[in-house]
Structure 1
Amino acid sequence: MLDDDTRTTMYRVLSSVGLGWYSVMWVIASVGAIAARRRYRYRPVEHLRFTPSSDAPGVSILRPLKGLDPNLYTNLESTFRQEYPNFEILFSVADEDDQALPVVRELVRLYPSVKAQIVIGAEDVGVNPKVNNLVRSYRMAAHDMLWVLDSNVFVDPGTLARAVEVLTAPKSPKHRRIAVVHHVPFVDASAAGSFWGSRVEAAFLNTTHAKMYVAINSFKVDSCVVGKSNLYRRSDVDRVDGTLKPVDALDLDPSKQRGFPSFGRFLAEDNMIASAIWHELGLRHDLSTDVAHNVVGSMTLGDYFWRRVRWIRVRKYMVLSATVLEPFTESILFATLASFSANYLFGFPEWLFIPAHFIAWFMLDLDVYASLSGAHSPISIDHWFVAAWLLRELMCLPIFFFAIVGSTVVWRGRCYRILRNGEAALASGS
């Protein structure tokens, strides 16, 4: 049994740790909000143009397609409307009967001045259907710079030009070369959908996810990239293999599989490619001033639940320490712990601490949301958004604790088992 003095000391230490962690989370969140303001709030309206066209490095835009994604026509058309003088588009479909093909063919007909082609047929290089779908386009691309853009994303006309500007920026003597330019996902109000899962997903992406995503990329301590919209060089990807071990320039073993096909063994190939470029080549990433306008479609709460479960389980086998720490980054947990700590140390009532925290936290999230939307597109907050934001906060911990105990996920109708090194295998009976 602990004596009273020891117990008091222990409670004081734990309470101090609780308030210390609370302060750390507010610092991280504030860094994300401030960085979002600086990068996105007053982003350019006029689109950067390269002139003459001979000075613009070529870019191959790879768009993987699978069926009729929501807003597909507008998403794909935004690629044709890029204000950049030197690019091609390769649309990848695995099946010649894919429902997306008539949409693509119509756009190709309407924009004859844009170099675009359709690549039909996948190659089986792993369990990831997106990688299998893109391998042929990856090899056929005419340019070294590749922009991989998901089919449920549309982009502003100046996005490619500004991303190329970041990727080709002169190397600073104090910093590593930028090898990946990525874009934070953002859901426009018109693309949020009316289903509850869609509303919660939109609230999550526009606030919590964006805040932490921008903050982590501001600290630049490790790779943190999602694959909605990524620009990188094929010559860099061809040198990595996903082991996250520094590349040995003298290792010329031709039997080792490297490059894009080697990432077919991962479900989160986007994150792994970026991590490999970071760790294996020692190069860095950066965000541009644009966002990837993500169309979430008609998502039920069940769809949202299983989507979050899927990526928590994938992350668990990729970055276990960060995943285990994740519940303590959720405000509903660290604010509750801080309220008990403040009450014990200073007599501050919990009933006042908790609502004050969530009001301040919500206002910070609104600031991030407004920054991503841009000064020229003011946001409109209604009771649906507030309810979706609260529901996201309430669901985060139950989803996490359900997800953390499993190792199988379902993606595009197939069941996968996640392995310890972050790779995936088809589950038996899938």
Structure 2
Amino acid sequence: MESLDLFLFGLAIFIFSGWCFNTFIHLLSIFYAKWKLHKQHSETETKDLPGISILKPLVGIDPNLFENLESFFTMKYPSFELLFCIQDEMDASRMIVQSLINKYPAVDAKMFLGGKNVGINPKVNNIAIGYEAAKYDLILISDSGIKMSEDTLVDMATHMTQKVGLVHQMPYACPRRGLHSSFEKVYFGSQHAKMYLSADILRINCATGMSCLMRKAVLDEAGGMKEFGQYLAEDFFMAQAFIDRGWRVKMCSRLAQQNSGTYSITHLQQRLCRWMKLRNAMVPATIFWEPISLCFTLGLMNAWAVSYMLDLSPMSYLLVHTLLWFLLDYTLIKVLENGAVPFSKIDFLVCWCLNEFSYPFLILQSHWDPKIHWRGRNFKLKWGGVVEELYTKQTV
């Protein structure tokens, strides 16, 4: 009996230590975000910045596509080119790109049609021709749903110092209408933001491919687009290629403003579930650590631990823990907004609770169905992150 008590006491200390570490990371992320994000750049910093080739993979038309693409034409940067990559020659996005090229003739912009089959990843296949045609040593891969502020390129380029090989933006979301927009902001501004900020502090590979600036020479050394076409999470493996070669991966101070015109809570949760499946295959440790790092999971575990060690009420402790976590998340999203949150505190509470309660079920779903559905195609994910496409048999 004494050995059991000793084991339970040791387990309680271990859980409480994990809670203290998680809370420390939460606080550290807030202070780091306050120091890191929204920095202003002087005019002297823009001098002698290297040229950048921007690859824009496009598939179909989004309600906000024109607005998003136009933000790249109006960026203030000494020298850059826009390389629009369109897989299907009949894709309607071609008309939008051409209209913007006509509207901004002074901007160096080109279209590449048809793509090139270098692997199983549709995005990599789409940008392969544009990648080969890029004339600058720095490559920015940017998704069609990203809206850029005019100084974003300057910010990313100034972070590309001598020992840095890859600079990425932390995902966030533009303000849009409806509760589903608020839910998106709450997720990317709390749970997701904490993960990205802490990863940048601890130098853990957590780069995002939705807006990522890289040294082309290093990518070529790693095998170019053909090497990364075998993965769906090509961004993770690109970042790892830089890390393996001794380069640093850094997050810049401008947020990646996702501005898709098609958005909903269901759509976001499908994305989150797909990302979980990829994380589980690439970094199996997340299968264990992600569930226990959630607010209510960790709170329940620590409520037992504290009550066992100190004879406190578990329910009272759980309420205090939840309130503290809620306040820290609200503080973090205010830092990301650099001011007032663009929705009411009631909306934040509703979205925060919905996210915290639904996320464990998404984790279970990611294990229940290992297949990945992306861009109208189905893939089977293997350990290590390699995928193979699943083809549906056609009957006549």
TM-score range, shorter chain: over 0.9
* 1:263 corresponds to 2:246: no
Shift of residue 379, structure 1, vs aligned partner:
4.2
Query: Which one is further off, 294-303 or 60-69?
Result: 294-303
Shift of residue 179, structure 1, vs aligned partner:
0.3
CA 1:47–1:382 in 2, change beyond 3 Å: closer, same or farther? farther
Structure-2 separation of matches of 1:384 and 1:152:
24
Q: Secondary structure at the match of 1:299?
A: coil
Q: Which amino acid aligns with 1:163?
A: M
Name the counterpart of 2:382: 419
CA contact (8 A) 1:267 1:423 kept: yes
Please give the residue correspondences for 1:161-240 in structure 2 after superposition, counting only pairs within 5 Å.
161-167=154-160, 169=161, 171=162, 177-190=163-176, 193-194=177-178, 196=180, 198-220=181-203, 222-240=204-222
- Once the two structures are superposed, what CA deviation does each residue of 1:16-64 show, in whole Å capped at 9, x if it has no partner? 1111111111112222111111112x5228777634xxx3321111111
Name the counterpart of 1:340: 304
Structure-2 separation of matches of 1:361 and 1:107:
45
Please give the residue correspondences for 1:22-421 in structure 2 after superposition, counting only pairs within 5 Å.
22-40=19-37, 42-44=38-40, 50-51=46-47, 55-167=48-160, 169=161, 171=162, 177-190=163-176, 193-194=177-178, 196=180, 198-220=181-203, 222-240=204-222, 258-279=223-244, 281-375=245-339, 379-421=342-384
Q: Secondary structure at the match of 2:221?
A: coil
CA contact (8 A) 1:48 1:161 kept: no
Structure-2 separation of matches of 1:195 and 1:37:
26
Shift of residue 411, structure 1, vs aligned partner:
0.5
- Once the two structures are superposed, what CA deviation does each residue of 1:183-229 show, in whole Å capped at 9, x if it has no partner? 10111323xx4264x44333111111011111111111x31111111
TM-score, normalised to structure 1, is: 0.87
- Matched length: 393
Shift of residue 264, structure 1, vs aligned partner:
0.8
CA contact (8 A) 1:195 1:299 kept: no
Give the alignment's Cα RMSD to 1 decimal: 1.9
CA 1:48–1:183 in 2, change beyond 3 Å: closer, same or farther? farther
Give the one of 21, 28, 35 matched to 2:18: 21
CA 1:195–1:371 in 2, change beyond 3 Å: closer, same or farther? closer
Structure-1 separation of matches of 2:105 and 2:269:
42
Structure-1 separation of matches of 2:188 and 2:220:
31
Structure-1 separation of matches of 2:9 and 2:141:
51
Q: Which amino acid aligns with 1:381?
A: S
CA contact (8 A) 1:128 1:266 kept: yes
CA contact (8 A) 1:70 1:152 kept: no
- Once the two structures are superposed, what CA deviation does each residue of 1:326-377 show, in whole Å capped at 9, x if it has no partner? 11111111111001111111122122212221221111112221222224x6
Shift of residue 80, structure 1, vs aligned partner:
0.8
- Once the two structures are superposed, what CA deviation does each residue of 1:92-121 show, in whole Å capped at 9, x if it has no partner? 101121121121111111111111011111
CA contact (8 A) 1:70 1:295 kept: no
Structure-2 separation of matches of 1:337 and 1:315:
24
CA contact (8 A) 2:115 2:126 kept: yes
TM-score, normalised to structure 2, is: 0.94
Q: Which amino acid aligns with 2:235?
A: D
Structure-2 separation of matches of 1:201 and 1:424:
28
What is the identity percentage for the equivalent residue pairs of Structure 1 and Structure 2? Answer: 27
Name the counterpart of 1:254: none
CA contact (8 A) 1:266 1:424 kept: yes
- Once the two structures are superposed, what CA deviation does each residue of 1:254-279 show, in whole Å capped at 9, x if it has no partner? xxxx1122211100111111111112
Structure-2 separation of matches of 1:202 and 1:308:
14
Structure-1 separation of matches of 2:251 and 2:218:
18
Instruction: Name structure 2 gaps, 5 residues minimum.
Output: none
CA contact (8 A) 2:182 2:343 kept: no
CA 1:319–1:392 in 2, change beyond 3 Å: closer, same or farther? same
